[in-house]
Amino acid sequence: MKILYAVQGTGNGHLSRAKEIYSVLNNRVEVDVLVSGNQFEIDCPFPVKYQLKGIVFAFGKNGGIDYFKTLKSNNPFKIFKEIRNCDLKDYDLIINDFEPITAWTSYFRGDLNCISLSHQGAFLSSKVPRPKRQSVIGKLVLKYFAPSATNYSFHFKSYDKNMFTPIIRNDIRRQSIKEKNYYVVYLPFYSDEKIIKVLSKIKEVKWKVFSKHSKEAYSFKNIKVKPISNSNFERQMAWSSGVICGAGFETPAEAMYLKKKLLVVPMKGQYEQACNAESLKELGVLVLSSFNKKKLPILLEWIESSTIIDIDFPDRAQYIVDEIITNHIVATELSERLLQNI
């Protein structure tokens, strides 16, 4: 029994969750890992057998994706070549976390043994909250970026069948929780300058900003800026008074698990984050449409507030993996044996 675990490598979130999924998969079966994309700052937490370029997204510095850099960074011919050359024949099952190369390889070859296990798969359900202003392009990306015949997914709540609450990393679960006099900020789609311009106006508060744009740590008045470092980020978040971050999935989920005051800023033009923001609003999280000096009164109110989201995310990683293996490998093998005996 052999599984290929294919993971999207644009950003840290997919790989952070994949660490836990890989560990519980490895308890049950032989597993190889494929990662496409290399836009992550954390050390890859498992052995990677296949590293592909995949499809690259470029963060801007004004609150959104830099579409010009994104187009410039992607060569369609090289993407199609990776799809054509991707060899999946040695695997009983492909578990895909929004990874486009193996998903499209399976699609073109009519292979039903590629299943989706991702946060993005949740948006295929009509039961998931969405913003009033919906994006046709955003919907198409979520549906066709990494297509799969069978879908298991994660969200902040189990809105539908085969939808699970977030996988919280053991590194987070093991953190000692304190409340020191500072706030953690992680907004990778804003430049350090833009973030500092806002935070420096709130002089009585200490800020620890984790940056994708700086390789060296530095300070400016009441603000400390550090390169993103996984272990340090986890500890700083666990000891903070609150967290300001994008409306992604893993970081807001971890902040809520740690019982931290949370404020999120969705990335502009990113439909997935707009949808996440709607779910977080329903849970009681404060959402800002943008991060600039006009939002200072709301930021000050948030700092003075004591709103903590009372939510629990139980550790079900092994259960989820066992269900997938049972449904897609064990059940298939039993059916084949029964057919042979007829």
Place of tokens 């200072």: 296
pLDDT in tens, the chain (342 residues): 899 999 998 777 788 889 999 999 999 999 999 999 876 666 677 899 999 988 877 666 666 666 667 777 778 889 999 999 999 999 999 999 999 999 999 999 988 789 999 999 999 999 999 999 888 988 999 999 999 989 999 999 999 999 999 999 999 999 999 999 999 999 998 999 999 999 999 999 999 999 988 889 999 999 999 998 766 899 999 999 999 999 999 999 999 999 999 999 999 989 999 999 999 999 999 999 999 999 999 999 999 999 999 999 999 999 999 999 999 987 566 555 555 665
Q: What is the pTM of this model?
A: 0.90
Q: CA dist 270 to 120, 254, 311, Å?
A: 12, 21, 26
CB atoms within 10 A of CB 67: 12
CB atoms within 10 A of CB 139: 15
C-alpha–C-alpha distance, residues 211 and 298, integer Å: 23
Residue 68 neighbours by CB under 8 Å, 6+ apart: none
Count how many Cα atoms sit within 13 Å of the Cα of residue 286 in the half-sphere of its side chain. Answer: 22
pLDDT of 231: 61
CATH numbers and ranges of domains, the chain: 2-165+314-341 (3.40.50.2000), 170-304 (3.40.50.2000)
pLDDT of 226: 93
pLDDT of 10: 78
C-alpha–C-alpha distance, residues 288 and 303, integer Å: 14
Q: Is the dihedral of CA 170, 174, 178, 182 positive or negative?
A: negative
